[in-house]
Amino acid sequence: MPLSSSPQIVQRGNEPYQVTFDAMRAYTDARTSATPDQLWIVEHPPVFTLGLAADPSHVLAAHAIPVVQTDRGGEVTYHGPGQVVVYLLIDLRRKRAESRLFARAFVHVIEQAVIETLAAYNLVGERKPGAPGIYMASGPWQGAKIAALGLKIRASGCTYHGVSLNVAMDLTPFSWINPCGYEGLATVDMKTLDVDAALSTVQLALAHILIERLG
C-alpha cells in the first residue's frame, strides 16, 4: 500500500547545484511505492540554471558563474547564498487528506506556502497569471519577484525540483540574466524589504507550511 505519512525533511546544507540535481534524479529513479516523500532543504553556491524550454540568450553575462541545463520547467533563474531552496520529491499519486494531487493543484500549494511564509513576516506576496512564482503585491517593490518555481513531474507522478525564496542575497547576478525569461524583471529579497530573518528560520518555516498544505 502507498505511504500516507507526511514528507520527511532532509537538510542538505550548502551543496553545489549539480550534486543536488544528480541526487534528486537518482532518488526519483529508485523510487518504489514504499519510498517516502521528502523535502530537501539546501543552499547553493552561485549558479544559473536553465529549464527545458529556456533560451540560453537570456543569460546576458554569466560572469564566471556556472550555467547548468536542467530538466525542470521554466526559463533561467539564479541560485545563491542567502536563498531558501526547497526541493519537493513527492509522489502525486498518493492519496492525501482529501484526494490525489494533480499538477496544477500542486503548483498552487507551493505558491500558497510561499505566500503564507511571507505573511508571517508581514510581507504580502501574490501570484501572476501565467508567470509561476511569487511577486510583491504592494509598496515600492510591487511586481518584483521574490520566489521562483520550477518542477519536473514524471509520467509516474513523481516530482522533483521545487521552489526558491530570496531571503538575504547579493541580488546582482539577477541583473546578468532575464529572470524567468522576462527582460527587466525586478527581483527582491526579504532583507531589502526590511525583514531581518535567519535563513535557517525561513527554511524551516517554508518547509513546515509545505508539509501542512500537502496534507
Q: Strands 67-69 and 159-166: what pairing? A: unpaired
Task: Specify which residues 107 forms β-bridges with.
Answer: none
Catalytic residues: 180
Give the amino acid at 181: G
Q: What is the 3-state secondary structure (H, E, C) of the chain?
A: CCCCCCCEEEEEEECCHHHHHHHHHHHHHCCCCCCCCEEEEEECCCEEEECCCCCHHHECCCCCCCEEECCCCCCEEEECCCEEEEEEECECCCCCCCCCCCHHHHHHHHHHHHHHHHHCCCCCEEEECCEEEEEECCCCCCCCEEEEEEEEECCCCEEEEEEEEECCCCCHHHHHECHHHCCCCCECCCCCCCCCCCHHHHHHHHHHHHHHHHC
